């Protein structure tokens, strides 16, 4: 039964980490995966996380099963973070939130849930989108289409094209939108453009699925989450996946959540009961530690403030790194204009490097995604010159 199984291709993002790990060159640089590194090239362990862990160690608890939907304190804190404690959807108990295995797990729960209750819907993802979106929704059984998004000529959003695509989608289609820090392009919509997108989604009767994996890496926690609240205020059915991998630097703990907005508290209770079946048949219930850490930080005012400060510091370092990157590129490759990198938001730069140029970088042990996406948050004062020199050489 196994003999005819072919080798699957490497994952377009995590496969790069595999190749990077296998590279014996001590000077290797990984600009592939979306992970924030500090200026020393280390993944930070946030102080707010360490302090929360110290609190948890002082209150040792047995590791019993969590409820299927996750830790209640976590679900509540996440819901309030995502929608606002005073929002109508929270006050009227129309929102449900379940702990998930990272943002990817949240997307998969949402996809499986939609497949059960709206199997005829087609899914639309941006062109381009996070490399895993298509595979994930396809594996849940959906036909996945692209909608116009990125314009390589301007390095920004082809907004007219996007709006036209939204208006042409069939009623009931699921539209996956990046709430902030678009992955991979770093090109976000303006507030006025979101107005028009929300209007098109509501008018067409589409099902918005907002993916928010980078809250706090764009303009700020509230600013980056604003679009979720605006969608929630419309009263349309809404799904939101969010992740704390990046914002808490808790990658390996796999802490995320899926929230769904219903039209009434009664409907929400029914949705939760069904979502619990999706969880139960996938992995039964989520792990304890990461959820406890995040819940402790979010519910403890000093730790929450510390988290906000630490997240702001990561955001600021990325912005400064963009500036330094552009400045250096101007020196080393003056005939090329990289000014657009400053306008991009979040961890990534869709650099415009071709697949061939990326392959040439790899010969120098510098790893990027084939599409030309590079993780700006992996650049630092020690590797910046090396990377810029290498880019200038391949251009």
Contact positions vs ligand LMR (CB under 6 A): 13, 33-34, 104, 130, 132, 183, 213
Angle between helices 131-139 and 102-117 (to 10 degrees): 40
Annotated catalytic residue within 75, 108, 112, 246: 246
Residue 66 or residue 180: which is nearer to ligand LMR going by CB? 180
Q: Yes or no: say if 106 and 179 are a contact pair by the CB < 8 Å rule.
A: no
Question: Any idea what DSSP says for residue 170?
Answer: P
> Angle, to 10 degrees, between the axis of helix 72-83 and the axis of helix 221-234?
90
CB of 130 closer than 8 Å to CB of 280: no
The structure tokens listed for 268 are 């929400």
Question: Residue 35 gets which letter from DSSP?
Answer: -
Q: How far is CA 345 from the centre of its chain?
A: 13
The yes-or-no answer on residue 309 being catalytic is: no
Contacts of 335 (CB under 8 A, 6+ apart): none
Q: Is 63 helix (H, G, I), strand (E, B) or coil?
A: coil
Which of 188, 211, 224, 370 is flagged as catalytic? 211
Cβ distance to ligand LMR smaller for residue 245 or 365: 245
Nearest distance from C-beta of residue 103 to ligand LMR, angstroms:
7
Residue 246 known to be catalytic: yes
Q: Please tell me the distance from the alpha carbon of residue 84 to that of residue 63, in angstroms, as a whole number.
A: 30
When the beta carbons of 35 and 88 are compared against ligand LMR, the nearer one is 35
The residue number with the shortest CB distance to ligand LMR is: 34
Q: What distances in angstroms separate CA 133 from CA 53, 255, 363, 373, one per listed residue?
A: 32, 18, 29, 16
CA-nearest of 199, 265, 209, 263 to 236 is: 263
Q: At what angle do helices 221-234 and 191-204 cross, to 10 degrees?
A: 30
Check if the beta carbon of residue 242 is closer than 8 Å to that of residue 256: yes
Query: 147: Cβ–Cβ under 8 A, 6 or more apart, which residues?
Result: 124, 125, 126, 127, 162, 165, 166, 169, 175
Is the CB of 94 or the CB of 108 nearer to ligand LMR?
108
Say if residues 227 and 244 touch (Cβ distance below 8 Å): no
Nearer to ligand LMR, 34 or 216 (CB): 34
Query: Which residue number, 232 or 250, has a Cβ lying nearer to ligand LMR?
Result: 250
Q: Which residue out of 51, 112, 130, 188 is catalytically annotated? A: 130
- Let me know if 194 is a catalytic residue: no
Integer angstrom CA distances of residue 309 from 55, 248, 289, 315: 20, 11, 23, 10
Residue 130 or 142 having the CB closest to ligand LMR: 130
Which residues does the annotation mark as catalytic? 130, 211, 246
């Amino acid at each position: 039964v196994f003999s005819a199984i072919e080798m699957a291709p490497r994952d377009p993002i995590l496969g790069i980490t595999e190749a990077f790990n296998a590279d014996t060159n001590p000077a290797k640089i990984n600009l592939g995966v979306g992970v924030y590194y500090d200026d020393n090239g280390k993944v930070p362990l946030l102080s707010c996380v360490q302090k929360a862990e110290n609190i948890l160690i002082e209150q040792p608890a047995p590791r019993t099963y969590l409820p299927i939907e996750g830790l209640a304190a976590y679900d509540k804190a996440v819901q309030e973070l995502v929608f606002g404690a005073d929002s109508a959807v929270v006050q009227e108990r129309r929102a449900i939130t379940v702990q998930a295995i990272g943002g990817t797990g949240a997307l998969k729960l949402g996809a499986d849930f939609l497949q059960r209750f709206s199997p005829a819907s087609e899914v639309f993802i941006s062109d381009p989108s996070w490399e895993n979106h298509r595979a994930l929704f396809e594996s849940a059984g959906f036909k996945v289409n692209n909608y116009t998004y990125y314009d390589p000529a301007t390095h920004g959003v082809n907004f007219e094209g996007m709006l036209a695509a939204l208006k042409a989608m069939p009623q009931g289609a699921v539209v996956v939108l990046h709430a902030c820090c678009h992955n991979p392009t770093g090109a976000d919509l303006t507030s006025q453009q979101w107005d028009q997108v929300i209007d098109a989604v509501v008018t067409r009767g589409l099902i918005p699925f907002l993916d928010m994996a980078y809250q706090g890496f764009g303009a700020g926690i509230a600013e980056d989450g604003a679009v979720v609240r605006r969608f929630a205020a419309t009263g349309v059915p809404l799904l939101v996946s969010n992740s704390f991998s990046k914002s808490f630097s808790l990658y390996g703990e796999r802490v995320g959540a899926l929230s769904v907005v219903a039209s009434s508290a009664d409907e929400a209770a029914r949705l939760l009961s069904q979502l619990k079946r999706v969880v139960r048949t996938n992995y039964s219930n989520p792990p304890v530690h990461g959820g406890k850490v995040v819940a402790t930080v979010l519910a403890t005012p000093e730790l929450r403030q510390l988290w906000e400060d630490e997240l702001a510091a990561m955001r600021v370092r990325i912005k400064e790194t963009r500036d330094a990157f552009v400045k250096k590129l101007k020196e080393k490759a003056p005939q090329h204009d990289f000014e657009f990198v400053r306008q991009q938001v979040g961890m990534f730069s869709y650099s415009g490097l071709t697949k061939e140029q990326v392959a040439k970088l790899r010969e120098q042990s510098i790893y990027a995604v084939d599409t030309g996406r590079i993780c700006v948050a992996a650049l630092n004062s020690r590797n910046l010159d090396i990377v810029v020199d290498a880019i200038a050489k391949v251009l």
